[in-house]
Amino acid sequence: MKLYQKTAAELSRLLQNKEITAVEVLNSFMERVDEVDPQLKVFITCTFDSALETAAAVDHRRMENEKLHPLAGVPVAIKDNFCTEGIKTTCASKILESYIPPYDAAVVEKIKSIGMPILGKTNMDEFAMGSSTENSAFFVTRNPWDLECVPGGSSGGSAAAVAAGMVPFALGSDTGGSIRQPAALCGITGLRPTYGRVSRYGLIAFASSLDQIGPLALNALDCSLLLEAIAGYDQRDSTSLHREVPQYSAAVDRELEGVKIGLIKENISANFDPEIKDAVLKMAALFEENGASVTEVSLPHTDYGLSAYYLIAPSEAASNLGRYDGVRYGFSANGDNIFSLFSRTRGQGFGTEVKRRIMIGTYALSAGYYDAYYLQAMKVRTLIRRDYEKAFQNFDIIVGATTPTPAFKLGEKADDPLQMYLSDVCNITDALAGVPSLSIPTGLHSKGLPMGMQLTAAPLNEGLLFQAAAVLEKCNDSSPVGRPSILPVEGSCRNGI
């Protein structure tokens, strides 16, 4: 088995035992990138040189018997909306096509101080607005399971990179499903942590009250390791939570005895793909076999989630994206005066979906419409949060399908924004409530595409999600192979091995 087929936990163990070097690990992944990226188109920017420097430095320090972080030398990829000092950070937008930030995002600082080589910056929907990565201003990324299908989005580049073995794990951001939906569509595990668990400092904002950074990996253990590395209070983010970071990775060895699991009624009774729903029910049965109780739970305001989300997120986005005016940095169009410079810069610099959301958001906040739209949506958000609070009085984890369908074809929904928005329908209420939510693979659809299930817990209970996911990984025979076989691979790497 090649090194690129191993999980982050395995690589970490081998590195710590000095059985392999960080440079060897990195070389294996870089070769893999060279091999499959021309087909998949995952990376906007590859940073192999600095990654090699990091890996070599880690090897040197290990030789000197320095005490290193367990993940030192394990490579990672980062979505292109995280600021990286001296490295182009585009948000997959023309408006930031050549933008080089002067500082590192808080999580990038952490990754660097651990000594994790950063392989590159991954493709995404422009400014994280989209569910297919087709909204990238540069190129589309393909699903490693079927090159005619989308990888999901907006963290589609990070999800495809992990699924294709280009990197053991990656960082994404989730505003309304942008980690979990592509994780499900690519057959991997992805976590949206509790809002405030990970510092947003240096994450280029889409919708500030919803954006959250999280890991995408092959399994729960790898996700937990990466979360441990990036979580924690940061005084530069006023919304970050002042709470200890538990050892999440310890949770994967715990049993499920006595854990109360709720099957979200609104999710499993929805008009979703039947195979996806069957897979969720099969997982529920596995939970029961492992000593958990499973009963139905209702989140009565679920139906209003999508509408509320598509008012709140665009409102914040319209404000957050105002700064791209061509005056200080990024793309700048010529104008006859300052106001035409503004409008031409923005007219030429932003893509269609971004403009659509700026329009929606501007409208929703306008005088005379604020009460009917933004304020109403905020009230719905409160009701949704209460739905969750109530559910977690009786349940430890609530579950449902991550997506209504498996990966769809490239171009299939590109011209129909409402259909595209609906692909996030299962992910949005968690985001509005600010609760942690993990998508795990449940098996392969008859179309040969992965399917996902979403596990959601009360705020700060990420450990419980890892625990439940790990139990399923051990006993789910139909879990998809972590690495799709259509790409040139040698052998296959099952989850958790």
Partner 1 sequence: MEFETVIGLEIHLELQTRSKLFCSCSTAFGSEPNTSCCPVCLGLPGSLPVLNRKAVELAIIAALSLQSEVQTESRFDRKNYYYPDLPKAYQISQYDRPLALGGFIEMEMDGAKRKINLERIHIEEDPGKLMHSGESILDSDYSLVDYNRAGIPLLEIVTKPDLRNGREARLFLEELRCILLYSGSSDCRMEEGSLRCDANISLRPAGSKTLGTRTEVKNMNSFRAVEMALDYEAGRQAAVLSAGGSVVQQTCHWDEGARETIPLRGKEGSSDYRYFPEPDLLPLILKPDYIETLAASLPELPSSRRARMMEEYGLDPADAAILTENRSLGDLFEAAAGEYKDYRNLARWVRGDLLYLLKGSDRNPSEVDPFLLIKLLTMLDEGEINRPVAKDLLDNIVKNGTDPRELVQQKGLGRIADRETLQPVVEKVLAENKDAVASIRQGREKAFAFLVGRVMAATAGRADPGKVQELLRELIN
Q: Any idea which residues carry the catalytic annotation? A: 79, 154, 178
Residue 360 as a binder of partner 1 (CB under 8 A): the answer is no
Measured CA to CA, the distance from residue 207 to residue 81 in angstroms comes to 13
Instruction: Find the shortest distance in angstroms from Cβ 228 to partner 1.
Output: 23
Residue 474 as a binder of partner 1 (CB under 8 A): the answer is no
* CA distance readout (Å), 106 to 99, 101, 445: 18, 13, 38
H helices of 234-375, in order, are 265-268, 274-289, 302-320, 338-349, 352-365
Residue 237 as a binder of partner 1 (CB under 8 A): the answer is yes
The residue among 203 and 449 lying less far from partner 1, judged by its C-beta, is 203
Instruction: Find the shortest distance in angstroms from Cβ 224 to partner 1.
Output: 26
The residue among 322 and 411 lying less far from partner 1, judged by its C-beta, is 322
* Burial (0-12, 13-18, 19+ Cβ within 10 Å), 163: buried
The residue among 202 and 463 lying less far from partner 1, judged by its C-beta, is 202
Residue 139 as a binder of partner 1 (CB under 8 A): the answer is no
**H/E element holding 214?**
strand 212-217
Residues within window 310-349 making contact with partner 1, judged by CB under 8 A: 315-316, 318-319, 322-323, 325, 327-329, 337-339, 342
Residue of the chain from 26, 140, 203, 470 that contacts partner 1 (CB under 8 A): 203
Other CB atoms within 10 A of residue 57 CB: 15
The residue among 164 and 205 lying less far from partner 1, judged by its C-beta, is 205
The residue among 189 and 199 lying less far from partner 1, judged by its C-beta, is 199
Size of site (CB under 8 A) for partner 1: 44
Instruction: Find the shortest distance in angstroms from Cβ 302 to partner 1.
Output: 23
- Report yes or no: 185 and 452 within 8 Å, Cβ to Cβ: yes
Helix then strand then coil, in percent of the chain rounded to 5, is: 45, 15, 45
Measured CA to CA, the distance from residue 38 to residue 481 in angstroms comes to 22
Residue of the chain from 208, 298, 307, 376 that contacts partner 1 (CB under 8 A): 208
- Report yes or no: 202 and 177 within 8 Å, Cβ to Cβ: no
**Distance between the two ends of the chain, CA-based, in angstroms?**
12
Residue 209 as a binder of partner 1 (CB under 8 A): the answer is yes
Burial 235-244 (b: 16+ CB within 10 A, else e): eebeebbeee
**Residues engaged in binding partner 1 (CB under 8 A):** 82-83, 89, 91, 96, 99, 101-103, 105, 200-205, 207-209, 235-239, 315-316, 318-319, 322-323, 325, 327-329, 337-339, 342, 362, 365-367, 370, 374
